Amino acid sequence: MRQITVSELKDRLDAGDSPLLLDVREPWELRVCALPGALHIPMRQVPARLGELDPDREIVVVCHHGVRSYQVVRFMEQQGFTNAINLAGGVDAWAREVDPEMAKY
């Protein structure tokens, strides 16, 4: 399984890369904080909504600490997605290492 750190993702985004950011957290979590431009599909809905995603596109899966996103990436890989990447540390690491102004929970 591929993983990316928050600093690596920040560098790639700053360089103009545009992977799909897939946030698999619950709606209440997004009301606290979110990465700009991320597509929101709660983890429990991913199996039913997988057809909305391009299996060939690079997709960085995001959650709070990187545990749910890890599970989603493993599921996506089992379904034939070869470019799914887990954001290690999730939005918590993003808030601590990249954007200290971001709300934490």
Question: How does pLDDT run along the chain (105 residues), one tens digit per residue?
Answer: 999 999 999 999 999 999 999 999 999 999 999 999 999 999 999 999 999 999 999 999 999 999 999 999 999 999 999 999 999 999 999 999 999 999 999
Whole-model pTM? Answer: 0.97
Buried/exposed code over 18-42 (b: 16+ C-beta within 10 A; e: otherwise): ebbbbbbbeeebeeebbbeebebbb
Q: Look up 33 and say whether it is catalytic.
A: no
From 4, 38, 61, 63, active-site residue: 63
CATH numeric code, 2-97: 3.40.250.10
Cα–Cα distance measured from residue 58 to residue 70, given in angstroms and rounded to the nearest whole number: 15
The separation between CA 85 and the C-alpha centre of its own chain, rounded to angstroms, equals 8
Q: Domain coordinates of the chain in residue numbers?
A: 2-97
